[in-house]
Amino acid sequence: MFIVNSPVLETKQVHENIYIQKIHSPEIARLIKPGQFLNIRVSENTFPLLRRPFSICDVDGENISLMFNILGEGTRILSHKHPGDFVDILGPLGNGFNLEGDHKTAIIVAGGLGAAPFPFLTRKIINNKKIISFVGGRTKQDVITYGLENLVLSSDDGSIGFTGNVVQSLENNLDKIEIASSKVFACGPNAMLRVLKDFCLKHNIDCEVSTECAMACGFGICQGCPIESTSNSDKYLLVCKDGPVFNVKDVVI
């Protein structure tokens, strides 16, 4: 884990309210894995005081990129970083997705901004594994396909792709997927992850989800990011240290 002050190379808007920020950070680029995250101090002032967590969206040589939308002050400041401005990065943090294993098909399930970790994961899927990306959102504007491939789109209001949520879209295509040799990698709102968990348990599909919650330290000190464990021995896990990626069997979402 490093703290590095890294220069922004580019901040570009790729979608309505969605930004991709490219940062030169060789230390982080060398070590980080898909599903891990960075805790970023967006300002040199004391406001906002806390760092803000962001998934690693992609890595290209010595450069990394983030994907974010403007939610509050932290992301607003980040969106105004220009080439030559610096961001203070703590990372890599968390565990990341487990890409090993003998599954032949990686099924990405992304809801809204949950698409953020998957360009990097897509790049890292190797050994001729097939990828299918189920990407959904409330409306066309919320369906983020940046850096993803082999897309199956859905929207709650039917403005693009299948009409329904992304898990219903997956269910709708179940006959086209060899479930026994597939693994699901998912990220999105907790309500979506909850439904996906039930779906994967019902169909016996291996599934890892990247969970989200409010964070402070980002590395296990403040105890501010608990998630309930399904095991009796270890009742609560920490999203920042034990996650943010969990097998759906291991946590109560």
Instruction: Select from 10, 16, 60, 73 the one that contacts ligand FAD (CB under 6 A).
Output: 73
Instruction: Select from 20, 23, 32, 67 the one that contacts ligand FAD (CB under 6 A).
Output: 67
**66 vs 237, beta carbon nearer ligand FES:** 237
* 206-210 and 182-187 beta bridge pairing: parallel
Per rule CB under 6 A, is residue 52 in the interface with ligand FAD?
Answer: yes
Tell me how many residues contact ligand FES (CB under 6 A): 12
**164 vs 224, beta carbon nearer ligand FES:** 224
> Smallest Cα–Cα separation from 35: which of 151, 198, 208?
208
Which partner, ligand FAD, ligand FES, none, binds residue 216 by CB below 5 to 8 Å per kind?
ligand FES
Rounded to whole angstroms, what are the CA distances from 101 to 46, 166, 177, 206, 209?
Answer: 44, 25, 18, 11, 16
Per rule CB under 6 A, is residue 215 in the interface with ligand FAD?
Answer: yes
Q: How far is the CB of 148 from ligand FAD (least distance, A)?
A: 14
Q: How far is the CB of 181 from ligand FAD (least distance, A)?
A: 29
Rounded to whole angstroms, what are the CA distances from 74 to 22, 39, 97, 166, 208?
Answer: 17, 12, 26, 29, 28
**174 vs 222, beta carbon nearer ligand FES:** 222
Burial class (CB in 10 A: 0-12, 13-18, 19+), 155: buried
Ramachandran angles phi, psi of 205, nearest 5°: -105, 130
Residues that bind ligand FES (CB under 6 A): 215-218, 220-225, 238, 240
